[in-house]
């Protein structure tokens, strides 16, 4: 199968993720959409790696996974602390600083 | 390349494959600034685990300051050894560049961080809680605001001394960021300095809901932008078949040797290059805080603990501009005719947008946030000059700006009322009559932001605008001067408010800081005046640093 098809799939997943970030209102769901975007990047890296026949892209995919895991640790800590003090994880409710 | 060949890359018999992999050659001495700071950060984590609670604050403060000072000494040693000029090269198997701009920016980041750590450690501003001196950071981050757990933590005298190792990790990432010489290192460095900053934002002792809100906004938008950066990296990797800056630049310029069939196919695809380059630029412009990627700046600057805001505003900006410069000058110079018009637009809306929206602000931290957006625009004007003068003027501006910013936010921490810092502008009315010294110091910082002669802001702006004009961006300079005039209006308005209006009876008090904050403010004033009155030595220093290793 032509590896270019995987690139189309990666772009599609990335777009779905980006749209989700912009549309969804729950911080956890927004965060899951960001993870989807990172995984779309991974797919693109691996597909390009296959096209070029070098391993850089596959190695980068591992790095991305580690970064995504670290991001989950930090992000969930922040979102959970926000939820515990407000009893809501909606990003619309967090508007103390609007003009 | 066929599937079997790729498959064989992974499955070659172990004995054969492993002997063929050469051991990486890492120049540890040239990476010493980063390694020292990272090592100290790890030690700081261990100190959190093993040092008794009473001794942690002093241990952490000592460790952080010593590590940052040692890192700075290492940078000076490398610069004195000629690594900035004649011996500049690419270390760590192509991952890290050791050259003039990298060393200059690393030195700036380290010095600014020392000053910022002083403001982190200030414990005399808040009144003592149950006989324990407290700093700007929450007693226990996991406790719900206003809960019994939090009250118990405050009573027990807990403090979040983890802020020091977090800051050190952030500094280590910032040191790598402007020196990164491949896109993977760039991305990892970005995350290494961003993740601790997200946490630091959530740790304010007062106004905790606002602080947590700022952290969530910063985190979600920061992660969103780094996903764009990563997809851009993927596309550039697809275009050039490599993430190394040198290789990508060769492919962009069309001077690449050994074109295999796969590369020949992808390098003909300009969409990969243009979209990839744009997305990477987008990620960096987000960190810089340029319009239209600035939305996070005011909320995060307002909600974060003020010492953290000062640190972020100064050090992050230096690191991000360093990475942006290297990307535009080393990787994408062959694409100049494509990125210049876009960057022109970004510069114009950033300068004007930041300056105009700042006029309507009523909160001093938000005002400084919009002012930092406007300054990002001025610095970007130097970035797009495309000459070596452009590089050195940007380096000088960043050094001058970072100390003014930390000093200004340090002054903001001093003006307090019962609810903590009194950040609403109306409360600053008549401050000059009550505490002339503090108001005068703040006025000097505001004049430096406005770019009045004899302050560092003037020499910086002059250098940047001169480089931009020489680089063929005369129109930008005119718009920049107009934006400066608009910006000067609201800086002067604050000065007028402080000195020429009656103080309110229930107005805020000015806390008497310890030697730590006093030092931070004094360094800010000293740098502002020295770089304003006698900038030549430092301009020469930045001029010698100009020139990236390729």
CATH number, domain at A20? 1.10.287.3510
Q: What distance in Å separates the CA atoms of residue B545 and residue B538, rounded to the nearest whole number?
A: 10
- Do residue B215 and residue A78 have CB atoms under 8 angstroms apart? yes
- Say which of B195, B228, B234 has its CB closest to residue A74: B195
Is the CB of residue A28 less than 8 Å from the CB of residue A79?
A: yes
Place of tokens 């005399």: B124
Structural domain contains residue B12: no
Q: How far apart are the first and last CA of chain B?
A: 30
Residue in B with minimal Cα distance to A43: B234
Assigned token pair, B358: 């700042």
- Do residue B217 and residue A51 have CB atoms under 8 angstroms apart? no
Backbone angles phi and psi of B244, in degrees to 5 = -75, 140
- Do residue B237 and residue A53 have CB atoms under 8 angstroms apart? no
- Compute how many other C-beta atoms are within 10 angstroms of the C-beta atom of residue A69: 9
Q: Which residues pair with B132 in a beta bridge?
A: B129
Structural domain contains residue A26: yes
**HSE-CB for B86 with a 13 A CA cutoff:** 3
Closest CA to B186 of B30, B322, B74: B322
Task: State the alpha helices, DSSP H only, in B304-359.
Answer: 306-311, 317-326, 336-359
- Do residue A34 and residue B235 have CB atoms under 8 angstroms apart? no
Assigned token pair, A19: 């749209």
Partners of B298 on chain A (C-beta within 8 Å) are 97
- Do residue A78 and residue B184 have CB atoms under 8 angstroms apart? no
Q: What's the pLDDT at B506? A: 81
Partners of A53 on chain B (C-beta within 8 Å) are 1, 5-6, 9, 260, 262
Residue in B with minimal Cα distance to A36: B227
Residue A62: give the domain boundaries.
4-86
Query: What Rg value do the Cα atoms of chain A yield, rounded?
Result: 17
- Do residue A97 and residue B234 have CB atoms under 8 angstroms apart? no
- Say which of B184, B224, B302 has its CB closest to residue A60: B184
- Say which of B6, B219, B265 has its CB closest to residue A50: B6
Q: What distance in Å separates the CA atoms of residue B470 and residue B476, rounded to the nearest whole number?
A: 11
Residue in B with minimal Cα distance to A88: B213
Structural domain contains residue B155: yes
Partners of A13 on chain B (C-beta within 8 Å) are none
**HSE-CB for A17 with a 13 A CA cutoff:** 24
Residue B413: give the domain boundaries.
25-545
Number of H helices, E strands in chain B: 24, 5
- Do residue A54 and residue B242 have CB atoms under 8 angstroms apart? yes
- Say which of B184, B213, B238 has its CB closest to residue A63: B184
Partners of A64 on chain B (C-beta within 8 Å) are 230
Q: What distance in Å separates the CA atoms of residue B404 and residue B453, rounded to the nearest whole number?
A: 15
- Mutation target to probe the B interface, by most B beta carbons within 10 A, among A60, A68, A87, A95 is A60
Q: What is the pLDDT of residues B343-365, one digit of tens each?
A: 999 999 999 999 999 999 999 99
Q: What's the pLDDT at B387? A: 87
Residue in A with minimal Cα distance to B295: A98
Partners of B243 on chain A (C-beta within 8 Å) are 56, 60
Is the CB of residue B106 less than 8 Å from the CB of residue B179?
A: yes
Query: What Rg value do the Cα atoms of chain B yield, rounded?
Result: 24
Partners of A85 on chain B (C-beta within 8 Å) are 144-145, 208-209, 212
Number of H helices, E strands in chain A: 3, 0
The helix (H) or strand (E) run that includes residue B94 is none
The long-range contacts involving B125-128, CB below 8 angstroms and separated by at least 24 positions, are B125/B413, B125/B414, B125/B416, B125/B511, B125/B513, B125/B517, B126/B205, B126/B206, B126/B420
Hey, is the C-beta of A48 within 8 angstroms of any chain B C-beta?
yes
- Which regions in chain B score pLDDT beneath 70? 1-7, 9-19
Is the CB of residue B164 less than 8 Å from the CB of residue A40?
A: no
Hey, is the C-beta of A74 within 8 angstroms of any chain B C-beta?
yes
Residue A81 to chain B, least CA–CA distance (Å): 7
- Do residue B237 and residue A57 have CB atoms under 8 angstroms apart? yes
pLDDT in tens, chain A (99 residues): 788 999 999 999 999 999 999 999 999 999 999 999 999 999 999 999 999 989 999 999 999 999 999 999 999 999 999 999 999 888 888 788 865
Which letter, b or e, does each residue of B285-310 get, where b requires 16 or more Cβ atoms within 10 Å of its Cβ? bbbbbbbebbebbbbbbbbbbbbbbb
Q: Which residues pair with B415 in a beta bridge?
A: B510
Q: What distance in Å separates the CA atoms of residue B324 and residue B347, rounded to the nearest whole number?
A: 14
Structural domain contains residue A37: yes
Structural domain contains residue B326: yes
Q: What distance in Å separates the CA atoms of residue B372 and residue B385, rounded to the nearest whole number?
A: 20
- Do residue B1 and residue A53 have CB atoms under 8 angstroms apart? yes
Structural domain contains residue B15: no
Total domain count for chain B? 1
Structural domain contains residue B8: no
Partners of B214 on chain A (C-beta within 8 Å) are 97
- Say which of B142, B187, B216 has its CB closest to residue A79: B216
Is the CB of residue B430 less than 8 Å from the CB of residue B506?
A: no
Q: What's the pLDDT at B19? A: 64
- Do residue A78 and residue B9 have CB atoms under 8 angstroms apart? no
Structural domain contains residue A99: no
- Compute how many other C-beta atoms are within 10 angstroms of the C-beta atom of residue B534: 11
Residue A10 to chain B, least CA–CA distance (Å): 9
- Say which of A17, A31, A96 has its CB closest to residue B220: A31
Residue A85 to chain B, least CA–CA distance (Å): 5
Closest CA to A57 of B97, B323, B9: B9
Total domain count for chain A? 1
Structural domain contains residue B3: no
- Mutation target to probe the A interface, by most A beta carbons within 10 A, among B223, B226, B271, B360 is B223
Residue in B with minimal Cα distance to A66: B188
Structural domain contains residue B490: yes
Give CA B279 to chain center in angstroms: 20
- Do residue A54 and residue B241 have CB atoms under 8 angstroms apart? yes
Q: What's the pLDDT at A91? A: 86
Q: What distance in Å separates the CA atoms of residue B196 and residue B165, rounded to the nearest whole number?
A: 9
Q: What distance in Å separates the CA atoms of residue B224 and residue B295, rounded to the nearest whole number?
A: 13
Q: Which residues pair with B98 in a beta bridge?
A: B89
Assigned token pair, B68: 């940052």
- Compute how many other C-beta atoms are within 10 angstroms of the C-beta atom of residue B22: 7
Q: What distance in Å separates the CA atoms of residue B304 and residue B55, rounded to the nearest whole number?
A: 26
Q: How far apart are the first and last CA of chain A?
A: 53
Structural domain contains residue B11: no
Closest CA to B145 of A95, A73, A81: A81
Is the CB of residue B134 less than 8 Å from the CB of residue B202?
A: no
Q: What's the pLDDT at B41? A: 97
Partners of B199 on chain A (C-beta within 8 Å) are 74, 77-78
Partners of B10 on chain A (C-beta within 8 Å) are 55
Is the CB of residue B448 less than 8 Å from the CB of residue B432?
A: no
């Amino acid at each position: 199968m032509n590896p270019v098809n995987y690139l189309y799939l990666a772009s599609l997943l990335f777009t779905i993720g980006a749209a989700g970030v912009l549309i969804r209102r729950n911080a956890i769901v927004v965060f899951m959409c960001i993870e989807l975007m990172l995984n779309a990047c991974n797919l693109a890296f691996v597909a390009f790696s296959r096209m070029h026949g070098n391993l850089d892209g596959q190695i980068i995919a591992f790095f991305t996974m580690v970064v995504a895991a670290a991001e989950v640790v930090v992000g969930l800590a922040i979102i959970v602390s926000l939820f515990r003090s407000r009893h809501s994880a909606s990003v619309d409710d967090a508007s103390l600083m609007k003009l | 390349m066929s599937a079997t060949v790729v498959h064989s890359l992974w499955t070659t018999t172990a004995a054969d494959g492993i002997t063929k992999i050469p051991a990486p050659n890492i120049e540890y001495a040239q990476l010493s600034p980063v390694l020292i700071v990272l090592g100290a950060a790890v030690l700081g984590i261990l100190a959190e685990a093993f040092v008794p609670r009473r001794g942690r604050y002093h241990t952490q403060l000592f460790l952080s300051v010593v590590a940052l000072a040692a890192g700075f000494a290492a940078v000076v040693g490398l610069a004195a050894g000629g690594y900035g000029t004649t011996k500049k090269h690419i270390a760590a198997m192509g991952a890290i560049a050791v050259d003039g701009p990298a060393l200059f920016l690393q030195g700036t980041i380290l010095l600014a961080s020392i000053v910022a750590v002083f403001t982190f450690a200030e414990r005399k501003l808040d009144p003592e809680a149950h006989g324990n001196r407290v700093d700007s950071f929450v007693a226990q981050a996991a406790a719900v605001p206003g809960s019994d757990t939090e009250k118990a933590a405050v009573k027990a005298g807990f403090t979040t001394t983890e802020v020091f190792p977090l800051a050190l990790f952030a500094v280590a990432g910032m040191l790598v960021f402007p020196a990164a010489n491949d896109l993977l290192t760039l991305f990892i460095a970005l995350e290494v300095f961003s993740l601790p900053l997200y946490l630091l934002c959530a740790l304010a002792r007062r106004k905790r809901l606002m602080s947590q809100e700022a952290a969530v906004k910063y985190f979600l938008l920061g992660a969103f932008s780094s996903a764009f950066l990563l997809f851009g990296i993927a596309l550039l990797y697809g275009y050039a078949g490599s993430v190394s800056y040198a290789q990508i630049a060769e492919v962009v310029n069309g001077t690449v040797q050994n074109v295999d069939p796969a590369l020949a196919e992808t390098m003909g695809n300009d969409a990969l290059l243009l979209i990839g380059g744009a997305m990477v630029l987008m990620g960096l412009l987000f960190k810089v805080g340029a319009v239209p990627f600035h939305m996070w700046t005011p909320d995060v600057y307002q909600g974060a603990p003020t010492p953290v805001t000062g640190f972020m505003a100064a050090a992050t900006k230096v690191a991000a501009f360093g990475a942006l410069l290297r990307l535009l000058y080393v990787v994408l110079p062959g694409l100049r005719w494509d990125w210049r018009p876009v960057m022109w637009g970004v510069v114009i809306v950033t300068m004007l947008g930041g300056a105009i929206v700042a006029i309507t602000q009523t909160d001093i931290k938000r005002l400084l946030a919009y002012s930092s957006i406007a300054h990002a625009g001025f610095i970007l004007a130097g970035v797009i000059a495309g000459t070596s003068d452009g590089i050195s003027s940007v380096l000088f501006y960043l050094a001058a700006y970072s100390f003014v910013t930390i000093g200004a936010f340090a002054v903001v921490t001093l003006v307090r009322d019962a609810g903590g810092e009194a950040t609403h502008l109306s409360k600053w009315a008549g401050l000059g009559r009550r505490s002339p010294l503090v108001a005068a110091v703040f006025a000097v910082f505001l004049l430096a932001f406005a770019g009045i002669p004899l302050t560092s802001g003037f020499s910086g702006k002059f250098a940047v605008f001169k480089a931009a004009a020489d680089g063929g961006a005369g129109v930008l300079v005119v718009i920049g001067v107009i934006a400066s005039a608009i910006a000067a209006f609201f800086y002067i308005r604050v000065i007028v408010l402080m000195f020429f209006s009656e103080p309110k009876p229930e107005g805020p008090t000015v806390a008497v800081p310890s030697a730590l904050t006093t030092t931070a403010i004094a360094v800010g004033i000293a740098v502002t005046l020295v770089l304003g009155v006698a900038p030549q030595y430092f301009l020469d220093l930045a001029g010698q640093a100009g020139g990236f290793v390729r």
